[in-house]
C-alpha cells in the first residue's frame, strides 16, 4: 500500500516536471524572433516574425514579395502593369486583377484624389526615375488629357482580345477576359502596391501559423496580432519636419499604420520643394495644407490608398471624408505645424513632448 502511494507521488511529480518543462520550452519558442530584409518596390522591407514557425514563413514571404513585385512593377518590362502600359491586351494575373479592382474602388471613393492613371505625369516630373524636372505647364495640360481613372477598363472584354469567344485567334484561356488601356493612358499602382503586399504577407504568415509579426514596408507598418508578450505593438509616427524624430506613437494590434508624406520623395528647384504626391486635377504636387497623413485601419491596401488620397484632399476635405467613413482613423500634420488626431485614437496615441495633439470628433460640435 505504502509503495503504491510512493509510486503515485513519483509519477505525479514527473508529470508536473514534464509539463513545466514543456510550458517553458513553448514559451521560449514563442519568443523566438526571425527577421528578414528585402529590397523591393524601390525601398527596403523589414519583416520580423515570432514563434517556432516564423523562420519557414519568412522564406515564403520573400518569395511572395518577389512574385508581387514582378506583377506590379512599372519598370520590369514583363510585368502586367508594364504590358498594359505598352498598350497590350492582356489577361491580368490574379493579384494584378485584385489590386486593380481595389485601386479603382478607392479612386472612385475618393472622387479622383487617388488616380492610378497619373503615370504619364509622374514620368514627366521624373519621379519614376529620379531625373527630376519641373515640366512645362503646356506639357502638363497635354498629358492631363490622358489622366482619368473613369476611363480605365475594369478587366473588361476587348473585342479583339483573347477573352472574346468569337475571336478564333484566342491565345489565352477563352474563359478569361482580356484587358487593354485606352490609347495613351498608363497606370501606376505605386500608391497602393505596398499596402496590398502587406495584406498578402500578413495572410501568408497567418496561414503558416505565425501569430505575432511586424512588417515595415518602406515606412508602411503592418502588424499581425500583438507582441509575443501579449502587449500592443508601439508604432512611431515620423515628424515630417524632421523625419529622424517622431510626433508620437500609436499602440495597435492587427492593424496597418500607413503614412504618406511630402518628405518621402522630393526635389528642390529655385528654392521651391516639389514632392511626389500629385494632384490629379492639376498635375502639380498637391499643396493643400498637409505635410503628412497617417492612416490607421484594418487593411493595408485601403490605408495606403487613403493616405495618398487624403494628402491630396487637404485638411478640410480629409476631415470631412473621415467623418463620412467609419472604417479608419488618421493623424494629420499640417504645414503650419498642427497635429490633428481623430477621436478613435484617443486611447492609443501618445504624443511626443514637443507636440500638442488636437482631437477631431465625428460630431463636429462635440469638444
Q: Which residues bind Mg ion (CB under 5 A)?
A: 191, 260, 304, 307-308
Going by their DSSP bridges, the two strands 272-275 and 266-269 should be labelled as: antiparallel
**Which of 178, 304, 321, 345 forms a contact with ligand ADP (CB under 6 A)?**
304
Asked if residue 191 binds ligand ADP (CB under 6 A), the reply is: yes
Q: Which does 278 bind (CB under 5 to 8 A by kind): ligand ADP, Mg ion, none?
A: ligand ADP
Q: Report the nearest approach of Mg ion to the CB of residue 158 (Å).
A: 29
Asked if residue 260 binds ligand ADP (CB under 6 A), the reply is: yes
Pick the closest to residue 103 from 300, 326, 302, 260 (CA basis).
302
Q: Which does 329 bind (CB under 5 to 8 A by kind): Mg ion, ligand ADP, none?
A: none
89 or 191: whose CB is closer to Mg ion?
191
**Which of 292, 308, 315, 348 forms a contact with ligand ADP (CB under 6 A)?**
308
Pick the closest to residue 273 from 282, 260, 262, 283 (CA basis).
262
122 or 191: whose CB is closer to Mg ion?
191
Please choose, out of 77-85, 92-100, 257-265, 346-354, the segment that lies near ligand ADP by the rule CB under 6 A: 257-265
Residues 202, 58: Cα–Cα separation, whole Å:
11
Q: Which does 127 bind (CB under 5 to 8 A by kind): ligand ADP, Mg ion, none?
A: ligand ADP
**Closest-CB residue for Mg ion?**
308
Q: Report the nearest approach of ligand ADP to the CB of residue 347 (Å).
A: 27
Contact in structure between 260 and 237 (CB atoms under 8 Å): no
210 or 250: whose CB is closer to ligand ADP?
250
Q: Report the nearest approach of Mg ion to the CB of residue 304 (Å).
A: 4
Site residues for ligand ADP, window 212-231 (CB under 6 A)? 218-219
Q: Report the nearest approach of ligand ADP to the CB of residue 259 (Å).
A: 7
Asked if residue 332 binds ligand ADP (CB under 6 A), the reply is: no
Site residues for ligand ADP, window 68-127 (CB under 6 A)? 114-116, 118, 122, 127
Asked if residue 280 binds ligand ADP (CB under 6 A), the reply is: yes
Asked if residue 302 binds ligand ADP (CB under 6 A), the reply is: no
Asked if residue 287 binds ligand ADP (CB under 6 A), the reply is: no
Secondary structure of the chain in HEC code, one letter for each residue: CHHHHHHHHHHHHHHHHHHHHHHHHHHHHHHCEEEEEEEECCEEEEEEEECCCHHHHHHHHHHHHHHHHHHHCCCCCCCHHHHHHCCCCECCCHHHHHHHHHHHHHHHHCCCCCCHHHHHHHHHHCCCCCCCCCCCHHHHHHHHCCCCHHHCCCCCCCCCCCCCCCCCCCCCCCCCCCECCCCCCCCCCCCCHHHHHHHHHHHHHHHCCCCCEEEEECCEEEEECCCCCCCCEEEEEEECCEEEEEEEEEEECCCEEEEEECCCCEEEECCEEEECCECCCCCCECCCCEEEEEEEECCHHHHHHHHHHHHHHCHHHHHHHHHCCCCEEEEEEECCCCEEEEHHHCCCEEECCCCCEEEECCCCCCC
Residues binding ligand ADP: what is the number (CB under 6 A)? 22
Q: Report the nearest approach of Mg ion to the CB of residue 12 (Å).
A: 59
And the C-alpha cell for 313? Answer: 484632399
**Which of 106, 214, 312, 339 forms a contact with ligand ADP (CB under 6 A)?**
312
Q: Which does 143 bind (CB under 5 to 8 A by kind): ligand ADP, Mg ion, none?
A: none
Query: Which positions touch ligand ADP (CB under 6 A)?
Result: 114-116, 118, 122, 127, 188, 190-191, 218-219, 260, 264-265, 276-278, 280, 304, 307-308, 312
Amino acid at each position: 500500500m505504502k509503495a503504491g502511494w510512493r509510486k503515485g507521488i513519483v509519477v505525479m511529480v514527473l508529470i508536473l516536471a514534464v509539463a513545466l518543462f514543456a510550458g517553458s520550452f513553448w514559451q521560449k519558442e514563442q519568443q523566438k524572433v526571425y527577421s528578414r530584409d528585402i529590397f523591393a518596390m524601390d525601398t527596403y522591407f523589414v519583416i520580423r516574425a515570432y514563434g517556432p514557425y516564423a523562420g519557414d514563413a519568412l522564406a515564403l514571404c520573400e518569395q511572395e514579395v518577389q512574385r508581387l513585385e514582378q506583377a506590379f512593377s512599372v519598370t520590369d518590362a514583363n510585368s502586367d502593369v508594364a504590358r498594359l502600359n505598352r498598350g497590350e491586351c492582356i489577361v491580368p494575373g490574379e493579384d494584378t486583377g485584385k489590386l486593380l479592382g481595389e485601386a479603382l474602388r478607392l479612386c472612385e471613393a475618393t472622387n479622383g484624389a487617388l488616380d492610378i492613371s497619373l503615370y504619364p505625369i509622374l514620368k514627366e516630373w521624373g519621379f519614376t526615375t529620379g531625373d527630376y524636372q519641373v515640366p512645362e505647364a503646356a506639357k502638363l495640360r497635354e498629358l492631363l488629357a490622358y489622366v482619368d481613372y473613369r476611363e480605365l477598363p475594369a478587366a473588361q472584354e476587348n473585342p479583339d482580345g483573347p477573352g472574346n469567344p468569337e475571336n478564333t485567334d484566342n491565345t489565352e484561356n477563352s474563359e478569361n477576359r482580356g484587358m487593354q488601356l485606352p490609347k495613351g493612358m498608363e497606370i501606376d499602382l505605386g500608391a497602393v502596391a505596398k499596402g496590398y503586399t502587406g495584406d498578402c504577407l500578413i495572410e501568408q504568415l497567418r496561414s503558416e501559423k505565425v501569430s505575432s509579426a511586424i512588417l515595415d514596408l518602406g515606412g508602411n507598418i503592418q502588424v499581425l496580432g500583438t507582441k509575443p508578450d501579449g502587449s500592443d505593438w508601439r508604432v512611431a509616427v515620423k515628424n515630417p519636419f524632421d523625419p529622424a524624430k517622431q510626433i508620437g506613437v500609436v499602440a495597435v494590434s492587427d492593424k496597418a499604420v500607413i503614412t504618406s508624406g511630402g518628405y518621402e520623395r522630393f526635389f528642390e528647384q529655385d528654392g521651391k520643394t516639389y514632392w511626389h504626391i500629385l494632384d490629379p486635377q492639376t498635375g502639380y504636387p498637391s499643396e493643400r495644407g498637409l505635410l503628412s497623413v497617417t492612416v490607421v485601419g484594418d487593411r493595408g491596401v485601403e490605408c495606403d490608398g487613403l493616405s495618398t488620397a487624403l494628402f491630396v484632399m487637404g485638411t478640410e476635405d480629409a476631415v470631412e471624408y473621415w467623418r463620412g467613413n467609419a472604417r479608419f482613423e488618421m493623424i494629420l500634420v499640417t504645414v503650419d505645424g498642427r497635429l490633428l488626431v481623430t477621436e478613435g485614437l484617443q486611447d492609443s496615441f501618445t504624443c511626443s513632448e514637443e507636440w500638442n495633439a488636437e482631437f477631431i470628433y465625428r460630431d463636429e460640435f462635440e469638444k
